[in-house]
Amino acid sequence: MDVTTPAAANAPWLIVGLGNPGPEYAMNRHNVGFMVADLLAGRIGGKFKRAGKAQAQVVEGRLGAPGPASRRVILAKPMSYMNLSGGPVNALRDFYKVPVANIVAVHDELDIDYGVLRIKLGGGDNGHNGLKSMTKAMGADYHRVRFGIGRPPGRMQVADFVLKDFSSAERKELDYLVDRAADAVEALVTEGLERAQSSYNS
């Protein structure tokens, strides 16, 4: 469903930060989606709480300037571990009656240099287990805000790389980059895909 149709335009948006629950994963590269979701929760003045029967934490509020341009959003962090994210997201989609085209997954992306953003609608999962699980649960026609983390150095395995914390050099820019990714999510929701892409796809 195109986001310009009345059904999608009037429906809430479900913004899903992908990551793994637990303090041991908090600063992992794989958890940058959680970081962006936490920042957005602060912007709308909410705190994450358990979402009924869904295995997720949520915050409800509005993004954008007050008035007709603002959008009702549900921020979500699946608590199921990355490779099972689709179940909780699908349960939230059903509960809040969100069209798939109004779902945004915020996630780490290996094939983009560190800190570079890409916003897109639909596509493959590129081996990302969170996206793979979401696509299996509800199809691929949701938005993605892809946060570049780059490829592992040398012969390091991908699984080891994504489950390591950002390096000390990367952390110097991390707060700024997470803030910019949150801006990109907000632009996508309030201004639409093309304008967000023109502003943030670099």
Tell which residue, 105, 102, 90, 86, has the closest CA to residue 37.
105
**Alpha-carbon distances of 114 from 31, 50, 193, rounded to whole Å:** 14, 32, 22
Q: In what order do the strands lie in the sheet with 103-109?
A: 49-50, 56-63, 71-78, 13-17, 103-109, 143-148, 117-121
Determine the Cα–Cα distance for residues 41 and 140; give it in Å rounded to an integer: 25
Beta strand 49-50 with 56-63: parallel, antiparallel or unpaired? antiparallel
Marked catalytic residue, from 30, 107, 128, 143: 30
23 vs 39: CA distance, rounded Å: 17
107 catalytic per annotation: no
Helix axis angle, 193-200 to 168-191, nearest 10°: 150
Q: Does residue 118 sit in helix, strand or coil?
A: strand
Three-state SS annotation for 22-60: CHHHCCEHHHHHHHHHHHHHHHCCCCCEECCCCCEEEEE
Residues designated catalytic: 30
